[in-house]
Structure 1
Amino acid sequence: MVRKEWYYSDRKANALLLAADVGGTNTNVALVEYDGREYSIMAHWEFASQKISGLEEALEEIFEDINSKLGEAKVEAFCASGAGPVEDNVCILTNLPWKIDGNEIERDTGIPTVVINDFSAVCYGVPILERQSPSSLVPIPHVDGSIPERRGSIRAVIGAGTGLGVGFLVDDRGQYHAYPSEGGHIDFPASDDLMEEIRKYLSFKYKHTPGTEAVLSGQGIANIFSFMLDSGNIGHDDLIREILSVPDTDKPPLIAKYSENHAGCRRVMEFFISVYGHMAGNYALCFLPTAGLYLAGGIVAKNIDYFQKSPVFMRYFESSYRKNMTELLKKIPVYIIKDYSISVYGAAYAAQTFARRGDA
C-alpha cells in the first residue's frame, strides 16, 4: 500500500458504499457514506497498481482495515471502475495485465458489485462535484474571454493521464447515464504541419497509424519529446540529457517542471497543449456537450496555467474549417477538474444506483 487515510470513523446511519478507481499507475479505493443527497469519503486507500496482483489483493487488506476500525460494518454495495472496456461486469484493463471480475468479487464478498469503465466513473462524478464542490471545477475562458453558461443535458469528459480516456453523460431529468468509449484510441488526426510530422514519425515507430493516446497522454509527452529531439526542433543540453537518462514514464513530470525556464521543454508542453485543444474540439463536435466539456487527469490539473493563461488550448479548440462549427464550439463551456477524488465519487454513485440492480 502506498497511502491510507481515515478522515473520520464516527459512522452515521447512512448507506455505506465502497468505490474503486483502478488505473495503470494507481488503484484508489474509498469508503463512502451516502445520506440520500451527499457523498462523504470516510477513508481512502491508494495502491501502486504494478505492485499488487489484482484488485482482490487490495480488497482483502481494505476489509481487514474496515473491520478493525468499524467492527462488522456492512458495506451495502461496491463499484469498481477500470481503465478498459467492460463486458458482462468484467473489465479487461488496457494498461495493466489483470482484470476486474465483478461477478467473482460479489460471490467472494457477498456485496452487490458492479464494474464500470473508469471514464464512466468520472462522468458520474461531475454532477456530484457541481453540487458539492463547484470550486474544484475551473472554467477555461474562450479566446474572447467568455465563459459560456452550461445548458442542455449532455456532458463529456476527456482526460490525458497514463492513457487517454473519453466518455459522456446524459442527464435524464435528474437521472444520470454514463457511456464509455475507446475514443482515446481513434487514429490521430493532424491539424497543422507539425502535427502531420509527428503523425508520420509515430507511424514509423508503431508500424501503424498512431492512436490519439500516443500523442495525448503521459506517454504522448514522452513521444513528443523524442520527436522534437529527433527532428531538430529542440537541441541537446545538460537538462535534456538529464531527461533522456530516466525511463519514458518519468519523463513527462520532468518536462513539465522544466518548461517554466527551458525553451525546449516549453515547446514540448505547448505542442502537447495544442494537441489537447485540437482533440477536445473534435470530441466536442462528436458529443455536443453543451452542459460542459470536462478535462480530467493529473496532467491538466498540474499544468492549469497552460490552459487558463495561454490562448493555445482554446485557439485550437475553436478551430474549424466551417465558420458555423467554430461558432458552435465557442458556446461550449470547458472546465478543468481539480479534484482527484472525482472517480471514487462517481463509482460511489454507480454503486448506490446500479449495483443492487446490476445494470450500470
Structure 2
Amino acid sequence: MMILAGDIGATKTILALYEFGDGSWRCFQKKQFFSSGYQTFAELLKLFLGDVENIHISAVCIGVAGPVIDGNCNATNLPWVLNQAKISAQLHTPNVWLLNDLEATAWGVLGLPEQSFIDLNPDAEKREGNVAILAAGTGLGESIVVWDGAKHHVIATEGGHADYAPVTDQEIALFNYLREKYPEHVSYERLLSGEGVINIYQFLKKNAWAPAQPETEKLMTERDPAAIIGEAGVAGSDVLCEEALNVFCRIYGSESGNLALKCLPYAGIYLAGGIAVKILPFLQKGVFMQGFLDKGRYRPILQKIPVKICVNPEVALLGAMSHAIKQLNEKS
C-alpha cells in the first residue's frame, strides 16, 4: 500500500510517498520543490512521479496554504488551484483529501513525541482539552483542535487574516503605518509572517528608532530580507533588527493569547511554521509570553496553558500522512 502526502506552501512544496510493509510505514521517496517555479500543482506532481514507475497509490492527502471548500482550494499566496477530483483522476485513486495546511499541521502535532517541542511557559499545567496551533512563515496560519472527551476534531480556520489589534502606543503607530500600505485591511498576517518581519523593520527604520546599518541594508538586497533581519536580530549585530524581532514576538504572543481566549486550549498552544525555530532565542526571552499573558482579568487562566514550539520542520507533511492513514482505517 502506498500513500502520497504533501505540504504545499507559498515558498516550498514537499511531496512524499510512504509505503506500508512489515507492519509499519516507511518513506519510499521524498522531494522538496520551490513552489513558484511551477505554473500548476499538476505539473509539479507529474515531475515528482516521473521517476517512479508501476506503482499504485492507494490514497493522497495534501495540506495546502489556503481555504479548502468542497474539495477545491485556491492557494492564498500561489497562483495554484487544486481540485480533489482532478488529483483523483490524475493518480487513479478515489481516496484523495485536501486539507488546509494548518489542519494538516494539527494532525502532525497530535502525533509527534514530546521531544519535538520546546516549552515556553514554565507555569503550565498538563491537562486534557482543546489544542490551538499557530504557524508564522510565508503567511500566518491558525487551527483549533477540539477534544470531545474521547477523540480530537481538527477545525481549519483563516484566523491569520483577522483584523490586527494594536495594544501599545508603538503598535498603534505601526498599525497606522500599515494602514497606508494596506488601506483595505490590516490583518495579523501583515505582521506575523516573513513579509511582516520586513514591515516591522521598515516601520522602525522610517520612525528613526535606530540608524539602519549599511551592511544589513546591502545584504537585504542580495538575500531574503526577512531572513537577514532574523539572523542579525538573533546575533545581536543590528539593534534595528533586534527591536523588529522584539515587536514581532510580542505581537505573536498577543495573537496567540487571543486564539487561546477563543477556544481555551487547556492542552496547549503550539507554534509551528518556519519563523519560530529561526528566532527561538527571542521567543524564549519572555516578550512573547508577556504578549500572551497581557489579557487583564484572564491572565490567571492563560498562565496555566502550555505554550510549545514545534521543532519538526515536516510536521504538516507527517500530519497529512497521518490523516490519510486515519481515513483509510475508518474505511476498512
Secondary structure at 1:157 match in 2: strand
Distance of 1:299 and 1:207 partners within structure 2: 26
| Equivalent residue pairs, number | 328
Structure 1 stretches of at least 4 aligned residues deviating more than 6 Å after TM superposition:
35-38, 355-358
Aligned match for 2:61, one of 72, 75, 79 = 79
Task: For residue 173 of structure 1, report the CA deviation from its aligned partner.
Answer: 5.5
Distance of 2:255 and 2:23 partners within structure 1: 35
User: Within the alignment, does 1:25 sit opposite 2:11 as a pair?
Assistant: yes
Distance of 1:155 and 1:290 partners within structure 2: 7
Task: For residue 304 of structure 1, report the CA deviation from its aligned partner.
Answer: 1.3
Q: What are the within-5 Å matches in structure 2 for residues 65-76 of structure 1?
A: 65-67=51-53, 72-76=54-58
Q: Per the alignment, do residues 153 and 32 of structure 1 end up closer, same or farther by CA in structure 2, a change over 3 Å counting?
A: farther
Distance of 1:353 and 1:170 partners within structure 2: 17
Structure 2 letter corresponding to 1:283: L
- Which residue of 2 is the match for residue 258 of structure 1? 232
Q: What are the within-5 Å matches in structure 2 for residues 279-318 of structure 1?
A: 279-308=255-284, 310-318=285-293
Secondary structure at 1:245 match in 2: helix
Task: For residue 55 of structure 1, report the CA deviation from its aligned partner.
Answer: 1.8
Q: Which moved more, 1:348-357 or 1:199-208?
A: 348-357
Structure 1 residue runs of 5 or longer lacking an equivalent are 1-14
Structure 1 letter corresponding to 2:218: E
Q: Which moved more, 1:267-276 or 1:57-66?
A: 57-66
Q: What are the within-5 Å matches in structure 2 for residues 146-165 of structure 1?
A: 146-149=123-126, 151-165=127-141
Aligned match for 1:190, one of 166, 169, 178 = 166
Q: In 1, are the aligned partners of 2:136 and 2:192 still within 8 Å (CA)?
A: yes
Structure 1 letter corresponding to 2:125: P
Q: In 1, are the aligned partners of 2:220 and 2:228 still within 8 Å (CA)?
A: no
Deviations 1:222-262 (A, max 9, x none): 10011011111121331243255357xx1111011111222
TM (norm. structure 1) is 0.86
Secondary structure at 1:104 match in 2: helix
Distance of 1:184 and 1:160 partners within structure 2: 9
Aligned match for 1:109, one of 74, 84, 91 = 91
Q: What are the within-5 Å matches in structure 2 for residues 30-41 of structure 1?
A: 30-33=16-19, 40-41=26-27
Q: Report the RMSD for the aligned CA atoms in angstroms.
A: 2.1
Deviations 1:7-30 (A, max 9, x none): xxxxxxxx4211011111111111
User: Within the alignment, does 1:203 sit opposite 2:179 as a pair?
Assistant: yes
- Which residue of 2 is the match for residue 55 of structure 1? 41
- Which residue of 2 is the match for residue 90 of structure 1? 72
Q: Per the alignment, do residues 74 and 268 of structure 1 end up closer, same or farther by CA in structure 2, a change over 3 Å counting?
A: same
Q: What are the within-5 Å matches in structure 2 for residues 129-148 of structure 1?
A: 129-130=112-113, 134-141=114-121, 145-148=122-125
Q: Per the alignment, do residues 37 and 118 of structure 1 end up closer, same or farther by CA in structure 2, a change over 3 Å counting?
A: farther
Q: In 1, are the aligned partners of 2:192 and 2:252 still within 8 Å (CA)?
A: yes
- Which residue of 2 is the match for residue 125 of structure 1? 108
Structure 2 residue runs of 5 or longer lacking an equivalent are none
Task: For residue 282 of structure 1, report the CA deviation from its aligned partner.
Answer: 0.8
Task: For residue 62 of structure 1, report the CA deviation from its aligned partner.
Answer: 2.3
Q: Per the alignment, do residues 341 and 245 of structure 1 end up closer, same or farther by CA in structure 2, a change over 3 Å counting?
A: closer
Q: Sequence identity, in percent?
A: 30
Task: For residue 302 of structure 1, report the CA deviation from its aligned partner.
Answer: 1.3
TM (norm. structure 2) is 0.93
Distance of 1:34 and 1:129 partners within structure 2: 19
Distance of 1:201 and 1:174 partners within structure 2: 47
